[in-house]
Amino acid sequence: MRTRLLLPLLFISLIALLAACATGPRSIEIPREKLQAALERRFPYEARPAGLFTINVAVPRLRLQPEANRLLLDFAVEASDRLSRRSTRGNLAVSFGVRYASSDATVRAVDVRVENIDLEGASGALRAPLQVVGALVAGQLLEGAVLHAFRPEDIAQARGWTPQSLRVTPTGVLVVLVPPGTGAGVGAGSMR
């Protein structure tokens, strides 16, 4: 008799547990390698702002900064002053956050910041303008850059689940999805 009462209760408990697992958050990780490949398509790059300088930016190396929820790019840079014909080499470090744009189902770079510009042997007269120009070039190249685009079949397979948050992890960018009807998704805007 006891077994007859216990069996249906166990069955209902199991179904409730499975239902809870099916409605909890899901996630998709965009691996570092895919992010690096998306960024490599934009480089190398040459800029000639106002015709005064020539700046050559090499293909960057991507580093993940989970503690800051940001990504960091290290570039080799060569800059020359077109008037005096002086040139210098160095390194540029740029960091940025990520956001999801629901309008086109992409993950994009946002809040680009120059973290460091180190130019070997650059005089003070050359260093200050190159730092400003470097910041402008970095912003133009990276702000809003597409890091990952979800394919239509990815969207269809999600079955209405929507991104809730993005987190930089030690291995990539984690996109946390929530089920339809929870009101926690992004909707028509964008989120970080």
pLDDT top residue among 41 and 187: 41
> Is 158 part of a structural domain of the chain?
no
Q: What is the extent of the structural domain holding 88?
A: 32-150
> Is 5 part of a structural domain of the chain?
no
CATH number at residue 141: 3.15.10.40
> Any idea how long the chain is?
192
> Is 140 part of a structural domain of the chain?
yes
> Is 82 part of a structural domain of the chain?
yes
Average the pLDDT over 70-90 and give the result. Answer: 85
pLDDT at 168: 97
pLDDT at 14 over 50: no
Alpha carbon distances (Å) from 158 to 3, 104, 178? 40, 15, 10
Average the pLDDT over 152-158 and give the result. Answer: 76
Q: What is the pLDDT of residues 171-181, one digit of tens each?
A: 999 999 888 87
Q: What is the number of structural domains in the chain?
A: 1
> Is 177 part of a structural domain of the chain?
no
> Is 174 part of a structural domain of the chain?
no
> Is 126 part of a structural domain of the chain?
yes
